[in-house]
Amino acid sequence: MTQILTQEYKKTFWSIITLISVLSIVYLLCISSSVFNTVALEDAEIQIGHIQSNLALVETAYIQKDTTINQSMALAMGFNEVRTSTFSYAGLSSSVSRTR
């Protein structure tokens, strides 16, 4: 009788040890994933800063070029002035056809 109880306690003990081990491993994996994601977020923020800096430089260059372009320069570059404008649009029909 005591051997059966001892056997039962051993099974319970090792089951609890196994469960604690598995949960500890899962916890460590979650912590390492959290650290990895934090580092990746910091790298992404640094890249965003570089992209915003480059965008500011490109916008500044665009504004400088935008002020230098005038009609005589455009004509010299081969652009033509449009005399009439034609617009294309999708007309909406008031009748709706149904198939039954």
Residue ranges of domains in the chain? 2-66
Q: What pLDDT digit, counting tens, does each position of 38-97 carry? A: 999 999 999 999 999 999 999 999 888 888 888 888 888 888 888 887 777 776 655 555
- Alpha helix segments (H runs only) across 69-88: 71-76
What is the per-residue pLDDT for 77? 86
What is the per-residue pLDDT for 84? 82
What is the per-residue pLDDT for 7? 85
Higher pLDDT, 5 or 23: 23
pLDDT greater than 70 at residue 26: yes
What span, in angstroms and rounded, lies between the C-alpha atoms of 42 and 46? 6
Which 3 state secondary structure label does DSSP give 89?
coil
What is the per-residue pLDDT for 98? 52
